Amino acid sequence: MNIFDPYTLPSGSELKNRILMAPMTNFLSNDDGTVSLKELDYYARRAGGVGAVITACANVNAQGKGFDGEIGVDRDELIPGLRKLAASIHEKGSKAILQIYHGGRMCPPHLVPDEETVSASAVAAEREDAPTPREMTSAEIQQTVIDFGEAARRAIEAGFDGVELHGANTYLLQQFFSPHSNRRTDQWGGNVRDRMNFPVAVVESVKNAVNTHANDPFIIGYRLSPEEREEPGITLEDTMQFVDVLSEQGLDYVHVSLMQFSQSSIRNENDDYPVIELITERIGHKVPVMGVGSLYSVEDVKQSLEFVPLVSLGRELLIDPDWVQKAETGEPVRTKMDPDKKDEVVIPEPMWTKIMSVPNWIPVKE
Q: For residue 46, what pLDDT is reported?
A: 98
Q: For residue 7, what pLDDT is reported?
A: 98
Of 138, 30, 150, 54, the C-alpha closest to 102 is: 150
- pLDDT tens digits, one per residue of 251-278: 999 999 999 999 999 999 999 999 999 9
2: in domain: no
Q: Where are the alpha helices (DSSP H) in the chain?
A: 37-46, 79-90, 138-157, 172-177, 197-213, 236-246, 275-283, 298-304, 315-319, 323-329, 342-345, 351-356
What CATH number does the domain containing 56 carry?
Answer: 3.20.20.70
307: in domain: yes
Does the pLDDT of residue 242 top 80, yes or no?
yes
Mean pLDDT across 43-55: 98
Asked whether the beta carbons of 53 and 96 are under 8 A apart, the reply is yes
Q: How far is CA 195 from CA 139, 181, 245, 338, in A?
A: 17, 10, 12, 44
1: in domain: no
- pLDDT tens digits, one per residue of 199-217: 999 999 999 999 999 999 9
Q: For residue 221, what pLDDT is reported?
A: 99
144: in domain: yes
Mean pLDDT across 331-351: 96
Does the pLDDT of residue 1 top 90, yes or no?
no
For residue 322, the enclosing domain spans 7-356
- Confidence class of residue 366 from pLDDT cuts 50, 70 and 90? confident
365: in domain: no
Phi, psi (degrees; rounded to nearest 5) at 141: -60, -45
274: in domain: yes
- pLDDT tens digits, one per residue of 344-365: 999 999 999 999 999 999 999 9
Mean pLDDT across 115-134: 97
Q: For residue 12, what pLDDT is reported?
A: 98
Question: Is residue 171 flagged as an active site residue?
Answer: yes
Number of domains in the chain: 1
Q: What is the pTM of this model?
A: 0.98
What does the mean pLDDT of the chain come to? 98
Q: How far is CA 17 from CA 20, 53, 122, 205, 327, in A?
A: 8, 12, 44, 29, 12
68: in domain: yes
76: in domain: yes
Catalytically annotated residue among 171, 222, 253, 296 = 171
- Cβ-based neighbours of 68, under 8 Å, separated by 6 or more: 27, 31, 108, 111
- pLDDT tens digits, one per residue of 217-231: 999 999 999 999 999
Q: Which percentage of the chain shows pLDDT scores above 90?
A: 99
Does the pLDDT of residue 19 top 80, yes or no?
yes
